Amino acid sequence: MDRNGVTEGEFEERGMNKCAEQVSHLALDIGGSLIKMVYFCGENSGSEHQQGILSSKESCGLSNGNTNCSVLGGKLHFRKFETSKINECLEFMSSKQFHRNGEDCHGASVSEKNIIKATGGGAFKFADLFKEKLGMTLDKVDEMNSLVAGANFLLKAASHEAYTYMDGQKEYVQIDQNDLYPYLLVNIGSGVSMIKVDGDGKFERVSGTSVGGGTFWGLGKLLTKCKSFDELLELSYSGNNRVIDMLVGDIYGGMDYSKIGLSSTAIASSFGKAVSEDKDLEEYKPEDVARSLLRMISNNIGQIAYLNALRFGLKRIFFGGFFIRGHAYTMDTISVAVNFCCCNAARSSVVREVFIVSHECTSCRSNHYCFS
């Protein structure tokens, strides 16, 4: 994404250089496909609480509902790395001296300062590597607990964190904290987890699917030769899935199947046209393949989410995870999928609200959150 001629990577790098000395909190989510890093930059570099990376034993600003913690002004920044290229993450952390930021802080030894919060399966898989390369100990936090606590916190603390998305229109909504629960949280990572959230610390994973972001990336890499997740998403924007997907109109001679509520443009079979065409993969445009793949996976996730909301009588669904991350077509497809199910339900649907949990600051639309 371009911000006045500055690429996202350059924008993020400038932000890092500007606040490197003020980083006070650092945490990692090491997933199967991507490593997500978040770090907090305080506004006043001279503040005792804002020098160095605080250990898990120390007071934390931006706490999940803990009113005893101080609230710091500043920004939460986000950065990602491919898990298969974890050395790039380690090199970045080393270059910014994250592993040395706590050495001059009071009240704890260097070894205590080099403890950082980490979640995801990689927190276990790569613990020894972080210790060997950076001298950092990963304080492992349960993945589902982190996910739900983070979602609850952002929905309560970050103004207009959630928004609806339909027909290219994003509408931010202020969630009534007294009417937040229960809701269905759909986290789309390499795979997909669907969690029924009943309150702070009260949740249950009720469903999921192995067809998620990792599926999109893995199949897309095989079919299009794209080298990165973002490259594949960018490619899909210019594609036309109707070249590959079999539509209802293709079966009914361009007509709707109105008796059961299917329009001629509804997808009858993802990738279905490839069955009847005598073409090799190389004869299809990569962008059309990427678009069809994205549509197939997004529709599947949206439908399963709707069915689980219906199953538990939930009126509100929140979609989050790196698969979405502000990508217009992905958001629109998921929203359309849920609304399609609602409109075609055999009985009245309980689902009333479908939200996206954003990864951008409301005020400046960049890849961080602002707190003051």
pLDDT in tens, 84-124: 999 999 999 888 777 665 444 444 444 556 888 999 999 99
Residue 155 is predicted with a pLDDT of: 86
Give every CB contact of residue 253 below 8 A, 6+ residues apart in sequence: none
pLDDT digit string, tens, across residues 291-314: 999 999 999 999 999 999 999 999
**Measured CA distances, 247 to 74, 162, 254, 315, 355 (Å):** 50, 32, 9, 30, 27
Q: Structure tokens of 94? A: 């080393």
> φ, ψ for residue 208 (rounded to 5)?
170, 180
pLDDT of residue 341: 75
Give tens-digit pLDDT for 167-215: 778 888 777 888 889 999 999 988 999 999 999 999 999 999 999 999 9
Residue range 69-79: mean pLDDT, rounded: 68
Which residue carries 């034993």 as its tokens? 57
State both tokens at 81: 């790395």
The first and second tokens of residue 185, run together, are 């949280």
> pLDDT tens digit string along 132-181?
999 999 999 999 999 999 899 888 877 667 888 877 788 887 778 888 89
From CA 349, how far away is CA 307, in angstroms rounded?
A: 10
Quote the percentage of the chain above a pLDDT of 90: 44
In 3-state terms, what secondary structure has residue 267? strand
Q: Please state which of the ranges 4-18, 129-143, 144-158, 252-266 shows the lowest mean pLDDT.
A: 4-18
CA atoms of 331 and 349, how far apart (whole Å): 21
- The string of pLDDT tens digits covering residues 347-356 is 445 665 777 7
Confidence band of 72 (pLDDT split at 50, 70, 90): low
pLDDT value of position 40: 80
Q: How many CB atoms are located within 10 Å of the residue 132 CB?
A: 11
Residue percentage of the chain with pLDDT more than 70: 73
Euclidean distance between CA atoms 210 and 298, whole angstroms: 13
Q: Which residues make Cβ contacts (< 8 Å) with residue 211, sequence separation at least 6?
A: 191, 192, 297, 300, 301
Locate tokens 């509408």: which residue? Answer: 171
Domains and CATH numbers, the chain: 2-141 (3.30.420.40), 142-244+284-360 (3.30.420.40)
Q: Which of 85, 88, 90, 81 is CA-nearest to residue 129?
A: 90
pLDDT at 33 over 90: no
Higher pLDDT, residue 46 or 328: 328
- The C-alpha angle with vertex 67 and arms to 64 and 73, in degrees rounded to 5, equals 75
β pairing state of 115-119 and 23-30: parallel
pLDDT at 88: 95
The pTM of the full predicted model, rounded to 2 decimals, is: 0.77
